Structure 1
Amino acid sequence: MRTLQIEPLTKDAFAPFGDVIETAGSDYFMINNGSTRRYHQLATVQTGLPEDKAIISIFRAQALPMPLTVRMLERHPLGSQAFVPLHGKSFLVVVAPASDLPDADQVRAFLADGSQGVNYHRGVWHHPILALAPEDDFLVVDRSGAGNNCDEHFFDDDQAMRLDPQQQADER
């Protein structure tokens, strides 16, 4: 079983899958009489149909036991989906490029440092949210509208991947 190497989450490394939502290294302009920096349009909400709406939700996630065997990924073919941590806690991001079916050999894992969020582009395969804290909240921006906007793919046992943040931390 292949073990996913967990990479630092950077804008360049994550670009094939979506946007990293962070202020570090991002352009801004001053508003509110010079008292506020506006980091404008850090990500774009993608929707597939004119009648779709961008919505904002909060997901309260429970940490899954680690190490984790990654057996499934999901995608949203009709819209993007953004996750922004609300409590500054690190979380894991597991993704594969947009395609008809995810390729297990192209799955990548990233560690978001708690000051970063992610915006999965439309059709990008990803694992459901992977909180590392026992319980964590995420602001979620995604699409609401008609049509099926969630496809799931389950890997055969020989394609399942291992995700072990502790082992990787111990190896450093």
Structure 2
Amino acid sequence: MPPSMPCPSIRIPIELLTQSSFSQFGTVISNPAHSPLPASQHTSPSPKIISANQGTALKILDVTHPSNLYSLAPSKKPAKAVMNMFVCSPRELRPHEPSESMPSSWGDLDFDEDDYGNNDRALFDVTILERHPFTTQTFIPMGLSGAERHTQYLVIVAPTLPASASRRHTGRPPPYPTPEVKKRGNSIKDIFARARPSPFTNEAAPPPPQFSRLHPSARPKGPGLPDLKNLRAFVATGDQAVTYGAGTWHAPMVVIGQRPIDFVVCQFANGVGIEDCQEVELVPGRNTEEGVVVMVDSEPSGKVIVKAGPGAVMAKL
């Protein structure tokens, strides 16, 4: 059984999946020409595009940021690139019920029932989150059209709490294997070695941090537990793949609709269970009504309606 943590009673609205809205958690892979947002709402830099295949194709460079951080793992066991397939069936949703749950931090929204008209609302209970502390993980859907109205998938993610807050809220250290940090010596040579310019090298400045060259979403997140009050939920179209940054807390893939979705999943792994994947079970706290819930509003056709962020409410995915 995975370790558990108490969770508040909170309801999360659904956002549109775009690179700008998802940037702290990872990257979104899609053809920029198929973006669901108008050009005026784009905040991410334009990707670099070059001609390829004797002029018959466009090559879009650096669409995601895979990273292998297993050098930080306690076992020091090297990892290899792996590609797996997940066949994800549609999730069971429960009928909407009024609740005293607090609203999400992402959007101080008015969830008045009169606003829904002929639209339907169902609820998805988030009961477990996982992370891959030393690797990015890319999910690529297969066979799902970007114009599909009856089947979509949700991407549910959370920031990482500071380790001190994690210990305070659970009474135990976070479930994250951190490498031992060797203490620096205090000899005269050690003290002078840390000076700049160094008397032992030609360096005039300290070298850049180990992870400064990585995309911010791919850098280590630290050992903390998920920040549930800032959990977010995005709906993805069939022509979008997603990369979770290393250590990003996320729910297992959530398919909404009528049929399964096949995902090709690319990541690194070294075969050490606690280093490849860590899970935490979300258990409603004492006197908590329902725990963490994503509100899934949909049109009569089944298409999910965006309720928060850019393109909210009126967006037609």
TM over 0.5: yes
Change (3 A) 1:122 1:160: same
Change (3 A) 1:126 1:11: same
- Determine if contact 1:104/1:160 at 8 Å carries over to the other structure: no
Cα offset, 1:57, TM superposition: 1.8
- Determine if contact 1:17/1:98 at 8 Å carries over to the other structure: no
Residue number among 93, 111, 129 corresponding to 2:235 in the alignment: 111
Which amino acid in 2 is paired with 1:49? Answer: Y
Q: CA separation in 2, counterparts of 1:3 and 1:114?
A: 25
Cα offset, 1:170, TM superposition: 9.8
Which amino acid in 1 is paired with 2:12? Answer: L
Determine the structure 2 residue equivalent to 1:141.
266
Q: CA separation in 2, counterparts of 1:10 and 1:136?
A: 20
Which amino acid in 2 is paired with 1:132? Answer: I
Moved more, 50-59 or 92-101: 50-59
Which amino acid in 1 is paired with 2:228? Answer: A
Determine the structure 1 residue equivalent to 2:153.
91
Q: CA separation in 1, counterparts of 2:282 and 2:233?
A: 16
- Determine if contact 1:76/1:150 at 8 Å carries over to the other structure: yes
Cα offset, 1:169, TM superposition: 3.4
What do you get for the CA RMSD once the two structures are aligned? Answer: 2.1
Cα offset, 1:127, TM superposition: 0.2
Q: CA separation in 2, counterparts of 1:91 and 1:60?
A: 12
Which runs of 5 or more structure 1 residues have no equivalent in the other structure? none
Moved over 6 A (4+): none
Q: CA separation in 1, counterparts of 2:142 and 2:160?
A: 27
Determine the structure 2 residue equivalent to 1:163.
294
Q: Is 1:8 paired with 2:20? A: no
Q: Under a length normalisation based on structure 1, what TM-score does the superposition of the two structures give?
A: 0.90
Moved more, 27-36 or 42-51: 42-51
Q: Under a length normalisation based on structure 2, what TM-score does the superposition of the two structures give?
A: 0.51
Determine the structure 1 residue equivalent to 2:215.
none
Q: CA separation in 1, counterparts of 2:293 and 2:251?
A: 13
Determine the structure 2 residue equivalent to 1:127.
251
Aligned residues: 172
SS in 2 for 1:105: helix
Determine the structure 1 residue equivalent to 2:129.
73
Cα offset, 1:146, TM superposition: 4.1
- Determine if contact 2:130/2:278 at 8 Å carries over to the other structure: yes
Which runs of 5 or more structure 2 residues have no equivalent in the other structure? 1-8, 34-46, 72-77, 94-122, 146-151, 162-223, 299-303, 308-312
- Determine if contact 2:124/2:296 at 8 Å carries over to the other structure: no
Cα offset, 1:114, TM superposition: 1.5
Q: CA separation in 1, counterparts of 2:31 and 2:142?
A: 15
Which amino acid in 2 is paired with 1:69? Answer: D
Which amino acid in 2 is paired with 1:33? Answer: Q
Moved more, 87-96 or 153-162: 153-162
Cα offset, 1:142, TM superposition: 0.8
SS in 1 for 2:297: helix
Q: Is 1:60 paired with 2:116? A: no
Which amino acid in 2 is paired with 1:95? Answer: V
Q: Compare relative contact order (CA 8 Å, sep 6+) and give the higher one, 1 or 2.
A: 2
Q: CA separation in 1, counterparts of 2:59 and 2:68?
A: 24
Change (3 A) 1:76 1:37: same
SS in 2 for 1:56: strand
Q: CA separation in 2, counterparts of 1:98 and 1:14?
A: 15
> How many percent identity over aligned positions?
28
Q: CA separation in 1, counterparts of 2:139 and 2:242?
A: 5
Change (3 A) 1:170 1:104: closer
Which amino acid in 2 is paired with 1:45? Answer: P
Cα offset, 1:63, TM superposition: 1.1
